[in-house]
Chains A and B, each alone.
Chain A
């Protein structure tokens, strides 16, 4: 599926999310569980701040010399006997992948989870040339079987579905006959998918980190699906976002340690698989042919701008797991395969303000995301920069921005939603009795000298209108 998910408006998506009790319960419990596990893992490790500083240092250096390291990576992949395709756009990437698949006469393709292949709509491109593309990550598989329901979380994609819904999907689409016990559902998927792995022509994977010095790509999973996808099919295609690279194996250690802990609170995920080109001629398993597709798709436009740090992201979802907005609207509310704070930063960068300009406003700027980020991306500051850009795009002078932003917020539909529907949830930390006493952002200056009625019982816009009316009588 493309980066954009759903066709409804931001308003409708948020309305739907907020009224979906099950989804909100499961998001809440997932957030709490993942947050707890991450904090435990960080505490156990000790010196977490040093680790974050190291992570930041490595990511900054690597992005600063990204061209150099990509060159080195491609040379090494070539030495290892693999192919490297540099794709400026999604179309170029898909075209090359189609070409390889056609040449190998590939019909059945098994995939392990990859966000970038979602971003470039690779599955659709392969289906259009008659391929059967099968997702093998359990969460992704469930969504695919359910007529391509979009993912709602980058680590736990089917978070919004409960086990009875999953049982019904398996029953209706695959003839599943057992109960809704996760063990039974999982075993069923294992058996179905094992057959697919054994008969697939081509395995397609994403890439958590490439290692420049050895032309290696690494894959991090708990399920083992990335291992199967790179052990059984004769051809392997790996698609990576161009920023997903480290200089050497020593930095790989650090990034994987940060990723495992931040994503799922594990010291290491069950499998970390590092692949360097195709198998050697004598080996009895592994791919005979290896293709690495390095995707730009808008990323290079971010290089050298005030948003460069957004490319430091290692896709751990720690920011998503602490975000109060995500907690209430869920992943689908963002309308992008990249939800949460990082999604609100990068979706507009990759897809433009026209499509995603609403997202930077779907934030309380509470900075919990920035604190959670293992590589110290200043997420809330980047969100604020987006807001500023969007508002300045309307040609406003600097000193008016704050209040114009406020007005803009109350008149645009998107902020009408945040301001009125979300406010009862978001304003809680700022509230004493029924008044806002220490409001965020533009409200701050106001509420330091006077209290603002909390928006529990009255829609913000109604209140604002009434207030304007009152003022006109003064």
Chain B
């Protein structure tokens, strides 16, 4: 299949006919008359954003721990112990080394490595997945992850427990700021990732009699560690 686009011309021509014109060469995206999204948490300070973020995490069944970078090793050690985690899968991220994050835990560590073939299998058998985040959204208690060769999609998905490390400076008011950033990167030809995930807490389902069950296909437990000096 070397061809990449099939049947486009006939499809779009008949669509244009129904629209009563030919397909325009360019379309100016209008300035929307209503833009309520920019009013939310408009002048909030970084501290206020952390407060909103933490509050929202209560409703999405996610624990939040606030700490500083020099305490990270202790925090991770404690958390992993409390989850009874024996093995960890983590992104390949120099910050893990920089802040000695795994120096105190006894769990075995699998680092995502693009040269290895068994990343997915290792991650699937790990008890806990740990990643940094690329952005975080205060309003919805969301972390944003950009996937790339060092940042596997599976790490935040396959293990039953997931821990996200959230540098405080990366928290923005809501999704609008994140999508605008991606939009602007796009325009500069620097699209951030083949896969962008917005994650708000552990997976869940209410498909049986509308009863919320936390833990469906993705992680069953989630902790966010907010790092206040980063």
Chain A residues close to B by CB (< 8 Å): 26, 29-30, 33, 45-47, 50-51, 53-54, 57-58, 61, 64-71, 74-75, 77-78, 80, 82-88, 92, 96, 100, 103, 136-139, 142, 156-159, 162-163, 166, 182-183, 185-187, 190, 193-194, 197-198, 213-214, 222-225, 227-228, 230-232, 242, 247-250, 252-254, 256-257, 264, 266-280, 282-286, 294, 296, 300-301, 303-304
Residue of A nearest to B157 (CB): A227
Residues of B in contact with A, size category? 35 or more
Of B29, B35, B152, B203, the residue contacting A248 (CB under 8 A) is B29
> CA of A214 to CA of B36 in the docked complex: distance in angstroms?
24
> CA of A296 to CA of B8 in the docked complex: distance in angstroms?
12
A156 B207 Cβ-Cβ under 8 A: yes
Please indicate the chain B residues that have their CB under 8 angstroms from the CB of A157 in the complex: 207
B32 A275 Cβ-Cβ under 8 A: no
Please indicate the chain A residues that have their CB under 8 angstroms from the CB of B217 in the complex: 136, 190, 193-194, 197, 223-225, 227-228
Tell me the smallest distance from the CB of B165 to a CB of chain A, in Å.
Answer: 19
Tell me the smallest distance from the CB of A244 to a CB of chain B, in Å.
Answer: 14
Does chain A have a CB within 8 A of B99? no
Tell me the smallest distance from the CB of B129 to a CB of chain A, in Å.
Answer: 12
A78 B32 Cβ-Cβ under 8 A: no
Of B4, B16, B32, B141, the residue contacting A82 (CB under 8 A) is B4
Tell me the smallest distance from the CB of A45 to a CB of chain B, in Å.
Answer: 8
Please indicate the chain A residues that have their CB under 8 angstroms from the CB of B1 in the complex: 83, 100, 103
Of A33, A61, A87, A286, the residue contacting B7 (CB under 8 A) is A87
> CA of A256 to CA of B201 in the docked complex: distance in angstroms?
17
A224 B186 Cβ-Cβ under 8 A: no
B residues 151-206 in Cβ contact with A at 8 Å: 152-154, 157, 174-176, 178-180, 182-183, 186, 191, 193-206
**Residue-by-residue, is B133-159 near A (CB-CB < 8 Å gives 1, otherwise 0)?**
000010111100001110011100100
Please indicate the chain A residues that have their CB under 8 angstroms from the CB of B201 in the complex: 270
Please indicate the chain A residues that have their CB under 8 angstroms from the CB of B152 in the complex: 283-285
Residue of B nearest to A58 (CB): B32
B7 A139 Cβ-Cβ under 8 A: no
A71 B23 Cβ-Cβ under 8 A: yes
B19 A66 Cβ-Cβ under 8 A: yes
Does chain A have a CB within 8 A of B44? no
Of B6, B24, B175, B200, the residue contacting A85 (CB under 8 A) is B6
Q: With A70-B12, A138-B207 as known contacts, state yes or no: A257 contacts B24, CB within 8 Å.
A: no
Kindly name the residue among A77, A224, A278 whose own CB sees the greatest number of chain B CB atoms within 10 A. Answer: A224
A84 B5 Cβ-Cβ under 8 A: yes
Chain B residues close to A by CB (< 8 Å): 1, 3-8, 10-12, 14-16, 18-20, 23-24, 27, 29-30, 32-37, 39-40, 56, 60, 112-114, 116, 119-120, 124, 137, 139-142, 147-149, 152-154, 157, 174-176, 178-180, 182-183, 186, 191, 193-211, 213, 215-219
Please indicate the chain A residues that have their CB under 8 angstroms from the CB of B56 in the complex: 267
Tell me the smallest distance from the CB of A298 to a CB of chain B, in Å.
Answer: 12
> CA of A135 to CA of B210 in the docked complex: distance in angstroms?
19
A190 B207 Cβ-Cβ under 8 A: no
Tell me the smallest distance from the CB of A54 to a CB of chain B, in Å.
Answer: 4
> CA of A252 to CA of B175 in the docked complex: distance in angstroms?
9
Please indicate the chain A residues that have their CB under 8 angstroms from the CB of B210 in the complex: 26, 29-30, 33, 156, 159
> CA of A279 to CA of B1 in the docked complex: distance in angstroms?
18
Of A86, A139, A194, A300, the residue contacting B8 (CB under 8 A) is A86
Residue of A nearest to B178 (CB): A253
A227 B11 Cβ-Cβ under 8 A: no
> CA of A176 to CA of B221 in the docked complex: distance in angstroms?
25
Residue of A nearest to B213 (CB): A186
Q: With A71-B23, A272-B197 as known contacts, state yes or no: A280 contacts B179, CB within 8 Å.
A: no
Kindly name the residue among A64, A159, A223 whose own CB sees the greatest number of chain B CB atoms within 10 A. Answer: A223
A223 B36 Cβ-Cβ under 8 A: no
Residue of A nearest to B6 (CB): A85
B198 A271 Cβ-Cβ under 8 A: yes
B204 A47 Cβ-Cβ under 8 A: no
Q: With A83-B5, A92-B7, A280-B148 as known contacts, state yes or no: A53 contacts B34, CB within 8 Å.
A: yes
